[in-house]
Amino acid sequence: MTSKARLLKGAHTVLACMRAERRPYLTDVADIRIEVRPEVFYDPVESVFFAERVPKLVGKKSFIEIGTGTGIVSLAVVRNGGELILATDINPFAVKNAEANFSKHQVRKQVLRGEGLEPVPRDIRVEVIFWNHPFHYVAVPPVSTVEQSVFDYRYTGLYKVFRDVRRHLLPGGEFLLGTSSLARINSIKKIARKYGYSNKLLTKRSVRFAHRPNTKGIDLRIYSFKPI
């Protein structure tokens, strides 16, 4: 089996674990209790990494999260004093899940359903936009909502976000992309160049996913992209 096929097999294993959850459950991430509903992406390594790192990068700035899932990264940013403006997700189950978690933590912000930044009103601009995107480039469109959390068909989701992100950034603002060595990093940089962004690797951590504890060489990363 090629390494690429192995990585995709791993992604299917992650999805199978998520799909096996037939009922909502509660979990604590950095002392924030959230509900995780069926058909919504939550990974105890990946989601926790971004919930810990992104608030430090956002600080007190204004913030939009794309693909919020359970809403955990946005909640962590708010708890650290960041000014969440709104969040989006393509998955209707994620929208309801994040709304419920926001409401439980008295965060009265909207979660808009749609692709990337398309549902965001044109006049909204913030200092930081973040997306923990679906890492895997695939040549066949995902068939279920939860598959859209890990597979991005020909990176069309990423193209659309890079197309729109400039419109929603204040001068000096940045787009933070949560990604991984599982992603096609060179393709991502190429898309960013096409739309006129500089890129900088801000943080990188080697991780072991629960379903593949013996695997080496996988990391999670955050890149900063700024309009040139």
Ligand X SMILES: C[S@@+](CC[C@H](N)C(=O)[O-])C[C@H]1O[C@@H](n2cnc3c(N)ncnc32)[C@H](O)[C@@H]1O
Q: Which parts of this chain interact with ligand X (CB under 6 A)?
A: 41-42, 47, 50, 66-70, 72-73, 88-91, 94, 115-116, 132, 134, 148-149, 157
- Give whichever of 171 and 224 is closer to ligand X, judged by the CB atom: 224
Q: How many CA atoms lie within 13 A of 227 on its CB side?
A: 16
Residue nearest to ligand X (CB): 67
Q: What span, in angstroms and rounded, lies between the C-alpha atoms of 99 and 151?
A: 24
**Sheet of 83-89: strands edge to edge?**
110-113, 83-89, 62-66, 126-132, 169-180, 219-227, 197-206
The helix/strand count (H/E) of the chain reads as 6, 11
Provide the minimum distance between the beta carbon of 130 and ligand X in the complex, in angstroms, as a whole number. Answer: 8
Nearer of residues 155 and 197 to ligand X, judged by Cβ: 155
- 55 vs 69 by CB, closer to ligand X: 69
Q: Shortest distance, CB of residue 47 to ligand X, whole angstroms?
A: 3
For ligand X, the closer CB: 117 or 172: 117
- Rounded to a whole number of angstroms, the minimum distance from the CB of residue 211 to ligand X is 15
> At what angle are helices 46-58 and 72-79 packed, to 10 degrees?
30
Least distance in Å: CB of 222 to ligand X?
A: 12
Q: Measure the CA–CA gap between 135 and 11, rounded to whole angstroms.
A: 9
